Structure 1
């Protein structure tokens, strides 16, 4: 531990904040052990720790996803920051940034605001001298290299396991089921949605899932190969029967294409079609770099049927050049009233929207190549994540309030719908700003065609995609199913929907409350004897 002359005097009596972080490193880097080491350092130096910033289970490769460090940087740069030191266990806990300048930049922001970052377990001094600066730069490079090397080792390990037939991933897809086995191959049980193995030596295999889903997959292949029914028509057919995909959502043509082109349905385990190293972007790998294991698990369809489907798909798109499918897209966007991926999938003269994404790296890139600029905002991943977060927060508040009042609440598999007391079905949807009409923001609303809830809750997000502006509670029958409506930000401009507009979700508590009913002769209804726990005049 550093003991340079003058350092003890300069640190003694100063107030400090401690920053600790743990991702999936060894136990010696647990946040509690870091705190103990920092506390020992602070006691020796005479430093008082007044604040703790902790990122537990967070990667140090990037600043993204580390709320504690972000808050620390904001507090350190505040005009009235309460501490003048930041104590960190070592350089790697500050971050394993792939660019050493990024790590130095965040430390510089603190130093510029008068806050010094001190690494308690490092052997170099913290006086800002040339030797300390050189050692710190070397440590930053070593921390970044550790992450790169670890990422490479993890990828190679997963690649080898995939070659042996073990599943590497989360959801296997419609009609398939993940099974957990031990190191000897003994079955331990199924893995359900979002469940993960917790023992390192355990492995995951895939087997055929629900019999009804397996039968439907085989029916899709039969429709496509024997009856020459296209993917869009198959999706429409399934939605017309009220069937949902593996995520509990309506079928789309892309979902059908994924099933008809997935080799996992003939028992072949394929891994590393795409890869992503650390915080880099996803990229496609050539087929020669894929990990393949044929016969890894029981097939849902035979190879003859699968190959027939492949030939049909190849004849539709593979023989068309990039220039040809771009020309078709250009003709489409100049003649169509509505341009969207959904409309592209419907057009018989065009390949699917997924084909454009695969060939050109995204539908927006294809639009740019033909000189077309969409007149609406395309929802990016950051908007999707913000929308999901707002939806979960609203549902969480509603569920907590309803259960607190004694109601029973069940949540759907896709986590968008709740059922209250096995009677009232409420679906939640978030609508960010998608397009502008004469510079006035609007939000699109559509009643779901594949389900019929009793209440549809629409949360409108602001332009920053963070704060809900208001809530619309639409009862069944108030919107025509499948028809797009538009809501404006101006009060009174969205008639006749203003009667369904509310400031927050508390209105749902009133709509779900039971009330006493009386017969026409004034006698009490036989079903009104259940009472609300907080109200003597209403039922539960």
Structure 2
């Protein structure tokens, strides 16, 4: 430890704070040992310790997750601080930052505020001279390099364990379970979610999980390979049955996709697909960097079944070009008896309608690219063209008005959706008043479930004359998603929805107008970034048409 020779006058009588940190390095760096050494140093230098800042179990490679050091830096720069010296055991306890300038920067913040940082166990002096500065830089570099070398050693060790078939991750996934074994391979029990091993020499292996989960994994492969059911439909089917995933939550298509593509279901242990060494951002590693162990644990499905699913996935949408997508759609519309969005989703081997909507800005645009003209439940081609023209005109009309009012407006590829000031999403649709099933003229209403907007605007058209009648403007929450209503004049729904009926799009200008917010003292805030207000007190009255 540094002695007090020639330096007691410099520090004597001053008030000090101590900072201690321990990660998992060595027992020599326990917080008790650090405090004891710092106390001896303070006594020798006639310092009085008035505050303690402690980060226990915290890595030193970054400032993130070290609340004590953050608080110390904040208190050191406060005018009312109670100390003028910070005592740290050594440079590595201040941090093993990968950038030596970062470590020096935090010390500089203290020194700039009039607080001296002193490393008690270091051999260099703390007078701020050139020799001390050079030694601190060297020590900081060595501390950072120690973390890099240790991280690489740990990573290599984990890869070696993965090669031997031991599991290095967290939850293995649906249908699988983690089992704890000791150094001799004797099973000690099952590890449940959020449970970890407590003895360093213990290891974790993966085995098939509950019987009903294993059976369901095999059924998912059967649905996908032999029945042509896609990931989205499989997830919907499981949710309809009330079956939850391994976390007790509803299924999503991505979960099904993971089951169909993960090598662990054929007994292969793969490690290091991604890495985030030294608390850096996680990044994907190339396959050449992966660690693979074939037959590491009992498979849930055979290799032939897995390869069959892999072949089907290889021909899915993400690997198809726009021309290939259109070729498949062209073959379908030329051979199918029923051409509709639902029929497209049901057709095995054909990408989903959402894929065509995403790639081409709408299913109608994809139809046009393959030269197909769909028919609409009694509507003639002339009326269909009038419908498309009406929605284009209505969207453009509203967009121009919003831009003139000073808003920024972005329009979707298909021209049916606009985003106002990057905050409010408005979707437009046209509904024809048509006779359905031999009954009186009526129009259908359903809240869109795909890319649900904040406001849904319906332009009603008279199919007989192609003329626009009125606007219906529905905010989110008024209509039940996916529930279709058939409305006619005089129906109970017609009367209920009259309050959302307007003669033109001027209501959109009012809905998107910004308003000042009332502050706690009753005054109005002039902050420019307020949310939208509906101006319920001054909203225009619905039309009587």
TM-score (norm 1): 0.62
Label 1:142 to 1:201 Cα distance change in 2 as closer, same or farther (>3 A). same
How far apart in 2 are the matches of 1:446 and 1:90?
Answer: 64
How far apart in 1 are the matches of 2:294 and 2:11?
Answer: 64
Aligned to 1:54, what secondary structure does the other structure show? strand
Question: In the alignment, which residue of structure 1 is the partner of 2:49?
Answer: 49
How far apart in 2 are the matches of 1:267 and 1:313?
Answer: 20
How far has the Cα of 1:349 moved from its partner?
3.4
Is the contact between residue 21 and residue 58 of structure 1 (CA under 8 Å) also seen in structure 2? Answer: yes
Question: In the alignment, which residue of structure 1 is the partner of 2:143?
Answer: 143
Question: In the alignment, which residue of structure 2 is the partner of 1:467?
Answer: none
How far apart in 1 are the matches of 2:30 and 2:317?
Answer: 52
How far apart in 2 are the matches of 1:445 and 1:175?
Answer: 40
Question: In the alignment, which residue of structure 1 is the partner of 2:310?
Answer: 310
Aligned to 1:349, what secondary structure does the other structure show? helix
Question: In the alignment, which residue of structure 1 is the partner of 2:85?
Answer: 85
Label 1:145 to 1:347 Cα distance change in 2 as closer, same or farther (>3 A). same
Question: In the alignment, which residue of structure 2 is the partner of 1:118?
Answer: 118
Label 1:262 to 1:377 Cα distance change in 2 as closer, same or farther (>3 A). farther
Question: In the alignment, which residue of structure 2 is the partner of 1:165?
Answer: 165
- Structural mapping, 1:324-339, within 5 Å: none
How far apart in 2 are the matches of 1:490 and 1:162?
Answer: 57
Label 1:139 to 1:321 Cα distance change in 2 as closer, same or farther (>3 A). farther
Question: In the alignment, which residue of structure 2 is the partner of 1:200?
Answer: 200
Label 1:276 to 1:299 Cα distance change in 2 as closer, same or farther (>3 A). same
Question: In the alignment, which residue of structure 1 is the partner of 2:40?
Answer: 40
How far has the Cα of 1:123 moved from its partner?
0.8
Question: In the alignment, which residue of structure 1 is the partner of 2:238?
Answer: 238
Question: In the alignment, which residue of structure 2 is the partner of 1:475?
Answer: none
Is the contact between residue 377 and residue 435 of structure 1 (CA under 8 Å) also seen in structure 2? Answer: no
How far has the Cα of 1:281 moved from its partner?
2.0
Aligned to 1:16, what secondary structure does the other structure show? strand
Label 1:345 to 1:121 Cα distance change in 2 as closer, same or farther (>3 A). farther
- Structural mapping, 1:78-477, within 5 Å: 78-317=78-317, 319-320=319-320, 347-349=354-356
Question: In the alignment, which residue of structure 2 is the partner of 1:11?
Answer: 11
How far apart in 2 are the matches of 1:21 and 1:446?
Answer: 56
How far apart in 2 are the matches of 1:140 and 1:11?
Answer: 24
CA RMSD of aligned residues (A): 3.6
How far has the Cα of 1:373 moved from its partner?
11
How far has the Cα of 1:280 moved from its partner?
2.2
Aligned to 2:270, what secondary structure does the other structure show? strand
Aligned to 1:278, what secondary structure does the other structure show? helix
Deviations 1:107-165 (Å, cap 9, x if unpaired)? Answer: 00000001111111111111000110000000000111111111101110011111111
Label 1:3 to 1:276 Cα distance change in 2 as closer, same or farther (>3 A). same
How far has the Cα of 1:345 moved from its partner?
8.3
What 5-or-longer segments of structure 2 have no aligned partner?
Answer: 326-340, 342-350, 360-409, 425-451, 456-474, 483-530, 538-545
How far apart in 2 are the matches of 1:119 and 1:226?
Answer: 69
How far apart in 2 are the matches of 1:493 and 1:310?
Answer: 55
Is the contact between residue 179 and residue 206 of structure 1 (CA under 8 Å) also seen in structure 2? Answer: yes
Is the contact between residue 273 and residue 290 of structure 2 (CA under 8 Å) also seen in structure 1? Answer: yes
How far apart in 2 are the matches of 1:274 and 1:446?
Answer: 43
**Of the two structures, which has the highest relative contact order with CA contacts closer than 8 Å and spacing of 6 or more?**
1
How far apart in 2 are the matches of 1:185 and 1:126?
Answer: 53
How far apart in 2 are the matches of 1:105 and 1:80?
Answer: 22
How far has the Cα of 1:311 moved from its partner?
0.3
Is the contact between residue 345 and residue 351 of structure 1 (CA under 8 Å) also seen in structure 2? Answer: no
Label 1:49 to 1:443 Cα distance change in 2 as closer, same or farther (>3 A). farther
Matched, 1:22 2:22: yes
Label 1:149 to 1:248 Cα distance change in 2 as closer, same or farther (>3 A). same
Label 1:82 to 1:125 Cα distance change in 2 as closer, same or farther (>3 A). same
How far apart in 2 are the matches of 1:345 and 1:148?
Answer: 47
How far apart in 2 are the matches of 1:90 and 1:373?
Answer: 58
Deviations 1:351-381 (Å, cap 9, x if unpaired)? Answer: 99xxxxxxxxxxxxxx9xx9x9987679xxx
Deviations 1:198-218 (Å, cap 9, x if unpaired)? Answer: 111111000011111111111
Label 1:71 to 1:173 Cα distance change in 2 as closer, same or farther (>3 A). same
How far has the Cα of 1:196 moved from its partner?
0.8
Is the contact between residue 253 and residue 345 of structure 1 (CA under 8 Å) also seen in structure 2? Answer: no
Is the contact between residue 317 and residue 351 of structure 1 (CA under 8 Å) also seen in structure 2? Answer: no
Deviations 1:218-258 (Å, cap 9, x if unpaired)? Answer: 11101000101000000111111122111222111111000
How far apart in 2 are the matches of 1:102 and 1:242?
Answer: 52
How far has the Cα of 1:197 moved from its partner?
0.9
Question: In the alignment, which residue of structure 2 is the partner of 1:528?
Answer: none
What 5-or-longer segments of structure 1 have no aligned partner?
Answer: 326-335, 337-343, 353-366, 379-433, 450-487, 495-540
Aligned to 1:204, what secondary structure does the other structure show? strand
How far has the Cα of 1:101 moved from its partner?
0.3
Label 1:179 to 1:350 Cα distance change in 2 as closer, same or farther (>3 A). farther
How far has the Cα of 1:321 moved from its partner?
5.1
Aligned to 1:97, what secondary structure does the other structure show? coil
Is the contact between residue 4 and residue 44 of structure 2 (CA under 8 Å) also seen in structure 1? Answer: no
Is the contact between residue 232 and residue 346 of structure 1 (CA under 8 Å) also seen in structure 2? Answer: no
Deviations 1:479-519 (Å, cap 9, x if unpaired)? Answer: xxxxxxxxx8989979xxxxxxxxxxxxxxxxxxxxxxxxx
How far apart in 1 are the matches of 2:536 and 2:297?
Answer: 57
Is the contact between residue 316 and residue 351 of structure 1 (CA under 8 Å) also seen in structure 2? Answer: no
Label 1:131 to 1:151 Cα distance change in 2 as closer, same or farther (>3 A). same
Label 1:374 to 1:191 Cα distance change in 2 as closer, same or farther (>3 A). farther
